[in-house]
Amino acid sequence: MIRDAIIEGNHRYSLTRVWDITNENRALFIMLNPSTADEQQDDMTTKRCINFAKRWKCGSLEICNLFSYRTTYPKDLRKLPYPDIIGEKNRYYLEKAFKEATIVVVAWGKQGKLHKQSTHIHPLLKQWSHEHKKTIYCLGFLRNKEPRHPLYAPTETEIIDFFTNPPFDGGKLPCKIGKQ
């Protein structure tokens, strides 16, 4: 396993894992904020994302976040001013990862509404999806209409299209992506 991370101070902008260098398919997970995983160790979320990506026949993954500030407890993000948790390079690394990904999965969980960040990211995701002709997926929706976090999705969960199966339409059609 090849492990890498872009960490500057209290911010982690990107985390990558490569387990098959011959397979160019890469999954991108966009979640809430980074925790303890770095270029040497995986946390439970990273391990779960790797398992999903392997199931989707990817050879690597990248994890980026709505907020780049590293903390094990998302509630800590509420205590800090927005500029301190977003990270000045976060958008750059997020867009770079989006361009390089084969499969994009949003999975920030119930806290995505913090500082209205999930609302702010929607137009960017739609724009990037259109520009790069990529579908954005999720692992289902929560009651608050945010995309489910990988730790809280059953192992057999099928990804669904994030924009054409919105939770308020009741859409939960499984999408098979093995042939992409």
pTM value is: 0.90
Q: Which helix (H) or strand (E) holds 88?
A: none
Mean pLDDT of the chain: 90
The rounded distance, in Å, linking the Cα atoms of 43 and 151 is 11
pLDDT given for residue 48 in this prediction = 97
Q: What is the mean pLDDT of residues 73-82?
A: 89
The rounded distance, in Å, linking the Cα atoms of 49 and 92 is 22
Could you give the maximum distance between any two Cα atoms of the chain, in Å? 44
pLDDT digits (tens, 9 = 90+) for 45-61: 999 999 999 999 999 99
Chain-centroid distance of CA 137 in Å reads 10
pLDDT digits (tens, 9 = 90+) for 80-132: 988 899 999 999 999 999 999 999 999 999 999 888 898 899 999 999 999 99
Nearest of 144, 141, 138, 143 to residue 158 by alpha carbon: 138
CA angle 19/26/86 to nearest 5° reads: 110
Q: Are 30 and 67 in contact (CB under 8 A)?
A: no
Instruction: For residue 152, give the DSSP letter.
Output: G
pLDDT given for residue 179 in this prediction = 30
Nearest of 175, 105, 98, 159 to residue 132 by alpha carbon: 98
Which residues contact residue 58 at a Cβ distance below 8 angstroms, ignoring those fewer than 6 apart? 23, 25, 26, 27, 102, 103
Q: What is the three-class DSSP state of 41? A: coil
Domain extent listing, the chain:
2-169
Share of the chain above pLDDT 90, in %: 76
pLDDT given for residue 173 in this prediction = 37
Residue 169, pLDDT above cutoff 60: no
The rounded distance, in Å, linking the Cα atoms of 76 and 42 is 21
